[in-house]
């Protein structure tokens, strides 16, 4: 007596990507479909693999810093901060207060920029074409601050091991404050466009649910975890770079669906502005830190992680007391969050796959490294 199974002919295999516009890069998802229903997925990644970890073993500590910007290129400042903190930990040094406050301002601005890019493209994937123009307009203001500060807009290379390379330019505080004042009403504007919009709500509510236990099981961090009701943020849990001085909240939601993740990220942008405002008011005077002449950490290893816009970004560096790291391991949030995609889309509809890929907020440069 043969087992009753689905006939193979009812299952359709559909290739999504690597050139699909809403896979946010070169992600290829092989979907197994039963009609409109997704029975299973398989992610094929690696199209953008550049061997960043191998490059790290063949560069000096200082030379490797520009490469980390190229992993998560929409949040290059966060990547640079994580790397600098990891090497500083190995060297057992700390950046001076002025450098730390500047780092906080720039990383929070970067978080805003990253979330803005996410919001625009995510809305575009779902069919709301307007927000992408507005979010890119505001993101431009952030990029202008980066350009004025360190001379590059996207892959900034803003920080150096031990502090900063560039002193703040004249008018930095005013420009950042003007951005904050301009930006908060704009967030309200995005919310007016989307939050109550019936198409938006219907497309997102109850789609791609990942509850707290599943998040922990799959190691999912960042806004996805917070939307599932876990109030966990590395900036609060294990503060780095002086985050304990700032007063801010961790936005959370309960349902863990796509709509909640949208809400969490919107509130996170507001909290980032709150941090920036506090930080700008108290930039201390003093040195901005100097890169050590010779960077030769003692033999040992350290794991340092920060809260990047996408989740926990960790650097695990093994040193053998030479000028080059013996091994650099990057724990990319996108790579690990993407693994939960299968759990989120299984049983859903094909059209929801696009929404769910968008909501994880992956950057393929970081997934493939």
Partner 1 sequence: MAATPWEGELPAALKQRFGDQISECSTYLGQNFAVVKAEAVIPILEFLKLEADFDYLVDITAVDYPNRTERFELFYILYSFARNERVRIKTAIADGYKPGTATAVHSVANWLEREVFDMFGVQFAGHPDMRRILMPEEWEGFPLRKDYSIIKQDDRWVKENLGIESGQ
Partner 2 sequence: MNKFLRSIFLVDLFQGLWVTFRNQNPKYIYTEQYPGERPKVAERYRGAPRLNINPDNGETLCIACNLCALACPETLIVVGSERNEQTRRKDLTTFTYDLSRCMFCGLCEDACPVDALELTQDFELAAYTRDGAIWDRQMLEEGPRPTRYKF
Restricting to residues 206-235, which ones interact with partner 1 according to CB under 8 A? 216-219, 230, 232
Kindly report the length of the chain.
369
Q: Which of 22, 72, 83 is nearest to 48 (CA)?
A: 72
List the 311-319 sheet strands across, edge first: 300-308, 311-319, 327-331
Q: Which of 358, 362, 368, 232 is nearest to 305 (CA)?
A: 232
Contact 76, 307 (CB under 8 A): no
Restricting to residues 138-177, which ones interact with partner 2 according to CB under 8 A? 140, 144, 147-152, 155, 157, 165-166, 169
Which residue among 4, 5, 9, 196 contacts partner 2 (CB under 8 A)?
196
| Rounded least distance, CB 349 to partner 1, Å | 24
Contact 332, 71 (CB under 8 A): yes
* 70 forms part of the interface with partner 2 (CB under 8 A): yes
Distance CA 240, CA 229 (A): 23
Restricting to residues 231-260, which ones interact with partner 1 according to CB under 8 A? 232, 237-238
Restricting to residues 23-82, which ones interact with partner 1 according to CB under 8 A? 45-46, 49, 51, 53-55, 57-58
Restricting to residues 13-52, which ones interact with partner 2 according to CB under 8 A? none
Tokens of 162: 């031990």
User: Which is it for strands 159-160 and 163-164: parallel, antiparallel or unpaired?
Assistant: antiparallel
| Rounded least distance, CB 62 to partner 2, Å | 7
Residue whose entry in the numeric block shows the structure tokens 């005013």: 174
Which residue among 10, 15, 92, 130 contacts partner 2 (CB under 8 A)?
130
Contact 326, 57 (CB under 8 A): yes
φ, ψ of residue 16 to 5 degrees: the values are -115, 120
Q: Which of 84, 106, 104 is nearest to 163 (CA)?
A: 84
Which residue among 30, 40, 57, 134 contacts partner 2 (CB under 8 A)?
134
* 63 forms part of the interface with partner 2 (CB under 8 A): yes
| Rounded least distance, CB 67 to partner 1, Å | 13
Binding site for partner 2 (CB under 8 A): 59, 62-67, 70, 130, 134, 137, 140, 144, 147-152, 155, 157, 165-166, 169, 189, 192-194, 196-198
Binding site for partner 1 (CB under 8 A): 45-46, 49, 51, 53-55, 57-58, 89-90, 92, 216-219, 230, 232, 237-238, 298, 300-303, 305, 312, 314, 316, 318, 326-327, 329, 331, 335-336, 339, 368-369
């Amino acid at each position: 007596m043969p087992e009753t199974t689905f006939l193979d002919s009812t299952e359709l295999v559909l290739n999504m990507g690597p050139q699909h516009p809403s896979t946010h890069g070169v992600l290829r998802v092989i979907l197994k479909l039963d009609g409109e229903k997704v029975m299973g997925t398989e992610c094929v990644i690696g199209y953008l693999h550049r061997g960043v970890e191998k490059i790290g073993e063949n560069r000096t500590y200082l030379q490797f810093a520009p490469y980390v910007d190229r992993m998560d290129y929409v949040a290059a400042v966060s990547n640079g901060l994580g790397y600098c903190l990891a090497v500083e930990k190995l060297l057992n040094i700390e950046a001076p207060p002025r450098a730390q406050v500047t780092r906080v301002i720039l990383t929070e601005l970067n978080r805003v920029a990253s979330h803005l890019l996410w919001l625009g493209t995510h809305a575009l994937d779902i069919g709301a074409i307007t927000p992408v123009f507005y979010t890119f307009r505001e993101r431009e203001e952030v990029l202008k601050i980066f350009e004025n500060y360190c001379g590059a807009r996207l892959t900034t290379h803003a920080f150096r091991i031990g502090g900063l390379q560039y002193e703040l330019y004249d008018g930095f505080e005013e420009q950042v404050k003007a951005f904050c004042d301009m930006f908060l009403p704009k967030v309200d504007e995005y919310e007016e466009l989307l939050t109550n919009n019936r198409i938006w709500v219907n497309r997102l509510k109850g789609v791609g649910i990942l509850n707290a236990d599943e998040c922990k099981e799959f190691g999912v961090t960042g806004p996805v975890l917070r939307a599932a009701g876990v109030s966990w943020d590395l900036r609060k849990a294990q503060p780095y770079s002086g985050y304990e001085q700032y007063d801010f909240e961790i936005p959370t939601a309960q349902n863990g669906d796509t709509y909640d993740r949208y809400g969490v990220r919107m509130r996170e942008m507001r909290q980032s502005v709150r941090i920036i405002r506090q930080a700008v008011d108290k930039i201390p005077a003093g040195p901005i830190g100097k890169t050590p002449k010779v960077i030769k950490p003692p033999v040992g290893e350290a794991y340092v992680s920060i809260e990047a816009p996408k989740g926990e970004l960790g650097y695990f560096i093994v040193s053998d007391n030479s000028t080059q790291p013996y091994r650099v391991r990057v724990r990319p949030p996108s790579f690990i969050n993407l693994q939960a995609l299968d759990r989120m889309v299984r049983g859903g509809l094909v059209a929801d796959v696009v929404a769910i890929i968008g909501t994880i907020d992956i950057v393929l440069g970081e997934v493939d490294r």
